[in-house]
Structure 1
Amino acid sequence: MNAIAMQVDTEAMRQWFEHMHRHPELSMQETNTAEFIAQTLRSIGGYEIDTGIGKNGIVASLSVGDSDKAIGLRADFDALPIQEVNDFPYKSTTEGVSHLCGHDGHTAMLLGAAKYLAETRNFNGTVRLIFQPGEETMEGGPAMIADGLFARFPVDAVFGMHNIPGLEEGKFYFHPGEMMSAVDNWEVEIAGKGGHGGIPELTIDPVVAGSSIVMAIQSIVSRNVAPANRAVVTIGAFLAGNAGNVVAGNAILRFSIRSTTPEDREMILGNIRRIVAHQAQSFGCTSEIREGVPGAVLVNDAEETDRAAKIAQAAFGNDQVIYPGPSFLASEDFAFMLQKKRGSYCFLGAGPGKMVHHPEYFFNQNILPLGAAYWAALTEGYLR
Structure 2
Amino acid sequence: MNDISLTNSDVVELTAWRRRLHTMPDVSGEEVETAREVVRFLSETGPDEIVEGLGGTGVAVVYDSGVPGMTVMLRAELDALPIEELGDPEYRSKVSGKSHMCGHDGHMATLAAVGRALGRQRPAKGRVVLLFQPAEENGAGAAAVIADEKFRDLTPDISLSLHNMPGIPLGHVHLKDGPTNCASRGMKIIMTGKTAHAAWPETGISPVSAVATLLPALSGISDGSVENDDLVRATVTHVTIGEPAAGISPAHGEIWVTLRTSTDDQMSALVEQAETMARDAAAADGLALALSYQDVFGHCINHPAAADILRAAMDAESVPHVAGQAYRASEDFGRFAKVSKSAMLFLGAGESHPALHNPTYDYPDDLIAIGARIFLAATRQTLG
The correspondence for 2:309, drawn from 307, 310, 329, is: 307
User: Structure 2 CA distance, aligned partners of 1:55 and 1:35?
Assistant: 13
For the pair 1:157 / 2:155, whether they are aligned, the reply is no
TM-score of the pair, normalised by structure 2? 0.84
**What SS class does the counterpart of residue 89 from structure 1 fall into?**
coil
| Letter of the 2:367 counterpart | I
Determine the structure 1 residue equivalent to 2:234.
233
Determine the structure 2 residue equivalent to 1:255.
257
| CA pair 39-176 structure 1, distance change in 2 beyond 3 A | same
| Letter of the 2:185 counterpart | D
User: Structure 2 CA distance, aligned partners of 1:13 and 1:195?
Assistant: 64
Q: Is the 8 A contact 1:8 1:372 kept in 2?
A: no
Determine the structure 1 residue equivalent to 2:369.
369
Q: Is the 8 A contact 2:223 2:233 kept in 1?
A: no
Aligned length in residues: 376
For the pair 1:273 / 2:272, whether they are aligned, the reply is no
Offset at 1:372?
2.0
Determine the structure 1 residue equivalent to 2:383.
383
Determine the structure 1 residue equivalent to 2:107.
106
Q: Deviations over 1:279-338 (max 9, x none)?
A: 456677654221236332222221221122111111124xx122x232122222211111
Q: CA RMSD in A?
A: 3.3
User: Structure 2 CA distance, aligned partners of 1:262 and 1:289?
Assistant: 19
Q: Where do residues 170-209 of structure 1 align in structure 2 (5 Å cutoff)?
A: 170-191=171-192
User: Structure 1 CA distance, aligned partners of 2:102 and 2:242?
Assistant: 30
| Letter of the 1:369 counterpart | A
| Letter of the 2:272 counterpart | G
Determine the structure 2 residue equivalent to 1:341.
340
| CA pair 118-311 structure 1, distance change in 2 beyond 3 A | same
| CA pair 32-286 structure 1, distance change in 2 beyond 3 A | same
Offset at 1:106?
0.9
TM-score of the pair, normalised by structure 1? 0.84
**What SS class does the counterpart of residue 4 from structure 1 fall into?**
coil
| CA pair 309-92 structure 1, distance change in 2 beyond 3 A | same
For the pair 1:38 / 2:39, whether they are aligned, the reply is yes
| Letter of the 2:368 counterpart | L
Q: Deviations over 1:253-294 (max 9, x none)?
A: 433212124443223112222333444566776542212363
User: Structure 2 CA distance, aligned partners of 1:40 and 1:206?
Assistant: 55
User: Structure 2 CA distance, aligned partners of 1:195 and 1:368?
Assistant: 61
Q: Which deviates more, 144-153 or 305-314?
A: 144-153
| CA pair 239-359 structure 1, distance change in 2 beyond 3 A | farther
Q: Which deviates more, 85-94 or 51-60?
A: 85-94
**What SS class does the counterpart of residue 81 from structure 1 fall into?**
coil
Q: Is the 8 A contact 1:31 1:56 kept in 2?
A: yes
| CA pair 235-14 structure 1, distance change in 2 beyond 3 A | farther
**What SS class does the counterpart of residue 294 from structure 1 fall into?**
strand
| Letter of the 2:300 counterpart | L
User: Structure 2 CA distance, aligned partners of 1:220 and 1:95?
Assistant: 38
User: Structure 1 CA distance, aligned partners of 2:184 and 2:253?
Assistant: 23
Offset at 1:204?
7.7
The correspondence for 1:295, drawn from 281, 294, 297, is: 297
User: Structure 2 CA distance, aligned partners of 1:359 and 1:35?
Assistant: 26
Q: Where do residues 118-137 of structure 1 align in structure 2 (5 Å cutoff)?
A: 118-121=119-122, 123-137=124-138
Offset at 1:74?
0.8
| CA pair 340-244 structure 1, distance change in 2 beyond 3 A | same
**What SS class does the counterpart of residue 347 from structure 1 fall into?**
strand
| CA pair 184-116 structure 1, distance change in 2 beyond 3 A | same
User: Structure 1 CA distance, aligned partners of 2:28 and 2:247?
Assistant: 34
Q: Which deviates more, 209-218 or 372-381?
A: 209-218
User: Structure 2 CA distance, aligned partners of 1:369 and 1:73?
Assistant: 15
| CA pair 85-45 structure 1, distance change in 2 beyond 3 A | same
Gaps of 5+ in 1: none
Offset at 1:130?
0.9
| CA pair 309-81 structure 1, distance change in 2 beyond 3 A | same
User: Structure 1 CA distance, aligned partners of 2:31 and 2:244?
Assistant: 35
User: Structure 1 CA distance, aligned partners of 2:89 and 2:315?
Assistant: 34
| CA pair 353-240 structure 1, distance change in 2 beyond 3 A | farther
